[in-house]
Amino acid sequence: MENGITDTTGQVLGKSIIFARNHEHAMLLRQLFDEMYPQYAGKFCQVIDNYDPRAEQLIDDFKGEGTNNDLMIAISVDMLDTGIDIPAIVNLVFARPIKSPVKFWQMIGRGTRLCPDLFGPGKDKRVFRIFDHWGNFARFEMGYKPAEPAQGKPLAQLLFEERLTLAETALQKSEPAVFDTIIALVSKDINALPEESISVREKWKEKRALSKPEVLKAFAPATVARLRQEIAPLMQWRNIRGLGDALALDLLIARMQFAVLRGSGALADLKLELMDRLAALQMHLNPVREKAETIKHVKASTFWSGASVADLELARLELREIMHHRAKGGSQGVPPKIIDVTEDASQVQYARRSASLKSVDMRAYHQIVESELKKHFDSNPVLRKIRAGKRYRTRKSIPCIADPYPKPGCPSRAS
């Protein structure tokens, strides 16, 4: 659960097979899992063997073809060793010794299936991970490279840490109303931690002490440090299945609110990202259509002319519940143009650029540029001629600007 390959949120374990020794062993593993991770108890981890008359239905569920889409860990006794093709499998756990090298390779083959776009558009499955608890690789003298898992921070932890930073900034900027709003969200995040989970249970004293309203309201530097060091890592054990899109929007809005408080230019790039997500919403669906006024309001230039932290918070509350209704795949931007030519080095011209655009959705960017140009089409003579397809002649000579260090041909300040 800590070192396995996860889904796009970095929080929920990807599809995994545990190869158990026998039925009793499989049932024990299932029981221990439910005790250690009660937030996932139920349909998340299931035993699939010949003792269960629903075995075929469970296999369909594990493939994603059944009614239970929550099944992510299959504890198998011989039924999933061979002949099963589930491309989304990213973790294999050998909780039993294997004596046949042929069967061993067949079992490994459960993870070798390719799966395009498993982690998002253009993010294909390229590796899978094996947990060999019985030294099977050593038994068959197979060369292998031990993995050193370097997991990124899960989504819930990133959001929690961003909110801590936002609360600190609100205090620095003397914004008590913003601070109170964010602290309420921080308190809600802490209280959402499942105390029955084994990792959270070990920190229950810290969790309860730091979740007290008076402690959070004081927000002493020592408290902030403990929240980052002890509570933030526990956020990975929140069950956010089905909430990934909502929490991703929460994180984006939190970063936008931070940019507003700091007056940072990063707000422009974050705005484009939000516009991309709004453009991908499926407006023909009733839940999305009900929020049409909010979507229209957030897309309008008037909203961004003086957007405050409170405005962004209201937008977040209105939109977070519909973000999972975005079109599958989303926008992948404009692909790069490849031109295969032979360049003449003497003809290459270089220009200095003051800034560079990050990877953004060109549709949203096009909308913003077009809306800005429309404001000036009637008043700007250059734009009127360009729109009418007429030539616009520029002046042949440009007056020099006075400079204390003049270039040849330009007057100095003294002259």
Give the integer Cα–Cα distance in Å for 210 and 158: 18
Q: Tell me the pLDDT tens digit for each residue of 286-333.
A: 999 999 999 999 999 999 988 999 999 999 999 999 999 998 754 444
Verify that 162 and 309 share a domain, yes or no. Answer: yes
98: in domain: yes
159: in domain: yes
pLDDT attached to residue 392 = 61
Verify that 165 and 312 share a domain, yes or no. Answer: yes
In the structure, what pLDDT confidence band is assigned to residue 338 with cuts at 50, 70 and 90? Answer: low
Verify that 270 and 298 share a domain, yes or no. Answer: yes
Verify that 127 and 204 share a domain, yes or no. Answer: no
* 364 pLDDT more than 70: no
Verify that 80 and 209 share a domain, yes or no. Answer: no
In the structure, what pLDDT confidence band is assigned to residue 229 with cuts at 50, 70 and 90? Answer: very high
In the structure, what pLDDT confidence band is assigned to residue 414 with cuts at 50, 70 and 90? Answer: very low
Q: Of 276, 295, 325, which residue constitutes the final position of a domain?
A: 325
pLDDT attached to residue 270 = 93
Verify that 170 and 319 share a domain, yes or no. Answer: yes
In the structure, what pLDDT confidence band is assigned to residue 82 with cuts at 50, 70 and 90? Answer: confident
Mean pLDDT on 189-197? 93
Mean pLDDT on 2-23? 93
Mean pLDDT on 77-85? 89
pLDDT attached to residue 409 = 53
410: in domain: no
* 62 pLDDT more than 70: yes
pLDDT attached to residue 380 = 84
pLDDT attached to residue 277 = 93
The residue among 202 and 403 whose pLDDT is bigger is 202
Verify that 161 and 245 share a domain, yes or no. Answer: yes
Residue whose entry in the numeric block shows the structure tokens 């929490």:
247
Distances (CA, A) of 335 to 273, 332, 338, 358: 17, 8, 9, 14
For residue 146, give both structure tokens. Answer: 């031990």
Mean pLDDT on 228-255? 94
* 52 pLDDT more than 80: yes
The residue among 76 and 366 whose pLDDT is bigger is 76
Q: Of 325, 354, 381, which residue constitutes the final position of a domain?
A: 325
* 139 pLDDT more than 80: yes
CATH label of the domain that carries residue 85: 3.40.50.300
* 156 pLDDT more than 90: yes
In the structure, what pLDDT confidence band is assigned to residue 155 with cuts at 50, 70 and 90? Answer: very high
Domain count across the chain: 2
Q: Tell me the pLDDT tens digit for each residue of 91-138.
A: 999 999 999 999 999 999 999 999 999 988 888 999 999 999 999 988
pLDDT attached to residue 141 = 78
Give the lowest-confidence range in 20-34, 367-381, 397-411: 397-411
415: in domain: no
The residue among 347 and 86 whose pLDDT is bigger is 86
366: in domain: no
Mean pLDDT on 226-240? 94
In the structure, what pLDDT confidence band is assigned to residue 271 with cuts at 50, 70 and 90? Answer: very high
Q: Of 139, 165, 181, which residue constitutes the final position of a domain?
A: 139
278: in domain: yes
The residue among 275 and 391 whose pLDDT is bigger is 275
Mean pLDDT on 353-371? 61
Verify that 103 and 160 share a domain, yes or no. Answer: no
Element (H, E) at 46: strand 45-48
* 68 pLDDT more than 80: no
Verify that 60 and 202 share a domain, yes or no. Answer: no
pLDDT attached to residue 206 = 93
392: in domain: no
* 335 pLDDT more than 90: no
Verify that 215 and 171 share a domain, yes or no. Answer: yes
248: in domain: yes
pLDDT attached to residue 373 = 81
Structural domain of 112: 15-139
- Is residue 48 a contact partner of residue 121, using CB atoms and an 8 Å limit? no
Verify that 39 and 165 share a domain, yes or no. Answer: no
Verify that 321 and 194 share a domain, yes or no. Answer: yes
In the structure, what pLDDT confidence band is assigned to residue 218 with cuts at 50, 70 and 90? Answer: very high
Mean pLDDT on 9-31? 95
